[in-house]
């Protein structure tokens, strides 16, 4: 690895440790990722973004730390440093292997994280989902929070951007009006909040590590719905282990589509109308 002086100097300011070498990391579509080799022998990942939105990296670091408080929960990279312009995390060495045993363990760990709970529906600070602001101000129930902090803000933005047809938007609004009847009562769970397969890293330690949270207190079916929307290797085994450790309410599989409306609308806002149409088709099942 060579050494990028500006990146290395910024990392050294935050870490108080010398950076021996740096190298670019491919794959990120928002921040620039750089691998750091530190004089201590540790390897780290540094993410930077010029003119990052206020609180962008601080929210990521806070979410990782909050989720990491749970003993026996999902593994997350340690936060080594964070500032307004970057975050530095312990490196996760990935593997091409995806053993069933790791999926089963992940199911148990995710159940433990969810079961740790939260103080309420939401969080004490707003966050981000991709580049988009993510409102987290608490609400009195999950149905209320999911409507006014998740579905409706991104439905409005999708409309403003021409990313959803009016008929599809109307179908989503009908579901929002029925959320109190459709969603079961549970205590708030400690959610990752953006739990798709791209944020699940199969490590060389044969463990699934999770990254890039949009953490908050919410209904655990929301995390599970996102896993199902975008898929995960051995997902049935993950779910069997999860349900064994933290049994789900009857009908959870039928409700996954309700909790998939939020990520579909986010994707419509970011990537276009195909996702808006999917949200409308899905909503029609519940309207």
Candidates 151, 155, 176; CA nearest to 268 is 155
φ, ψ at 125 (rounded to 5°): -145, 150
Q: Which of 160, 181, 194, 223 is catalytic?
A: 194
Question: What tokens were used for 183?
Answer: 């969603």
φ, ψ at 202 (rounded to 5°): -85, 110
Contact 242, 106 (CB under 8 A): no
How does DSSP classify residue 77? P
Candidates 33, 130, 125, 28; CA nearest to 86 is 33
Candidates 132, 179, 151; CA nearest to 279 is 151
Q: Between β-strands 132-134 and 127-129, what pairing exists: parallel, antiparallel or unpaired?
A: antiparallel
d(CA 253, CA 241): 15
Contact 248, 227 (CB under 8 A): no
Q: Between β-strands 189-191 and 132-134, what pairing exists: parallel, antiparallel or unpaired?
A: unpaired
Q: Is 194 a residue of the active site?
A: yes
How does DSSP classify residue 78? P
Report helix, strand or coil for 96: coil
Question: What tokens were used for 7?
Answer: 């990146």
Task: Report the catalytic residues.
Answer: 194
């Amino acid at each position: 690895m060579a050494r990028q002086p500006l990146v290395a100097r910024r990392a050294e300011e935050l870490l108080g440790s010398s950076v021996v070498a740096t190298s670019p990391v491919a794959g990120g579509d928002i921040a620039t990722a750089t691998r750091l080799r530190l004089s201590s022998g540790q390897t780290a990942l540094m993410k930077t973004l010029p003119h990052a939105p206020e609180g962008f990296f601080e929210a990521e670091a806070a979410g990782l730390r909050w989720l990491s408080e749970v003993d026996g929960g999902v593994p997350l990279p340690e936060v080594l440093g964070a500032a307004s312009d970057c975050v530095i995390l312990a490196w996760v060495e990935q593997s091409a292997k995806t053993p069933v045993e790791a999926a089963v363990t992940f199911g148990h760990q995710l159940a433990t994280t969810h079961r740790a709970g939260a103080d309420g529906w939401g969080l004490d600070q707003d966050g981000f989902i991709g580049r988009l602001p993510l409102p987290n101000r608490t609400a009195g129930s999950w149905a209320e929070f999911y409507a006014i902090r998740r579905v409706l803000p991104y439905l409005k933005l999708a409309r403003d951007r021409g990313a959803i047809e009016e008929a599809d938007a109307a179908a989503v609004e009908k579901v929002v009006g029925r959320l109190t009847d459709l969603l079961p009562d549970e205590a708030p769970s400690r959610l990752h909040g953006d739990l798709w397969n791209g944020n699940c890293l199969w490590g060389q330690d044969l463990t699934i590590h999770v990254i890039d949270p949009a953490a908050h207190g919410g209904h655990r079916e929301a995390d599970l719905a996102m896993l199902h929307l975008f898929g995960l290797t051995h997902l049935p085994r993950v779910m069997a282990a999860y349900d064994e450790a933290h049994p789900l309410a009857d009908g959870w599989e039928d409700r996954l589509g309700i909790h998939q409306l939020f990520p579909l609308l986010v994707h419509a806002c970011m990537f276009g109308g195909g996702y808006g149409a999917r949200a409308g088709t899905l909503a029609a099942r519940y309207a």
